[in-house]
């Protein structure tokens, strides 16, 4: 089975960094409980604390697409221009190795 991977990068404005961090951290538990979620991990860049990165693996692209419409993402998606310094970057990958 080939997993669907997403690497999402979210960059906060200086003044919204802590609020954005709280919003993003609040998405972890409900997302991990979604059907098809293999792993969902939130990181902050070691050199730029405004840059947050999600590393996600999903059972299928359909599961990932359903996740992107989940209601618990609205606190972020509903306020993108207010919170972010630039648009969300989403890089979709197909895993070719066996997951660990």
Q: Hey, what are 68's tokens? A: 């992107």
94 — pLDDT class (breaks 50, 70, 90) = confident
| Ranges assigned E (strand) in 12-86 | 37-44, 51-58
How many angstroms from the chain centroid is the CA of residue 69?
12
Q: What is the pLDDT of residues 36-45, one digit of tens each?
A: 999 999 999 9
Question: Hey, what domains does the chain have and what are their CATH numbers?
Answer: 4-94 (3.30.70.100)
DSSP state of 57: E
Q: What is the pLDDT of residues 75-86, one digit of tens each?
A: 899 999 999 999
């Amino acid at each position: 089975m080939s997993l669907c991977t997403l690497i999402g990068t979210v960059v906060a404005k200086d003044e919204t960094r802590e609020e954005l961090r709280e919003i993003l951290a609040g998405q972890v538990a409900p997302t991990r409980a979604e059907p098809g979620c293999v792993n969902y991990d939130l990181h902050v860049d070691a050199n730029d604390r405004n840059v947050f990165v999600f590393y996600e693996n999903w059972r299928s692209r359909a599961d990932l697409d359903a996740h992107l419409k989940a209601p618990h993402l609205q606190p972020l998606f509903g306020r993108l221009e207010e919170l972010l310094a630039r648009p969300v970057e989403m890089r979709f990958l197909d895993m070719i190795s066996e997951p660990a």
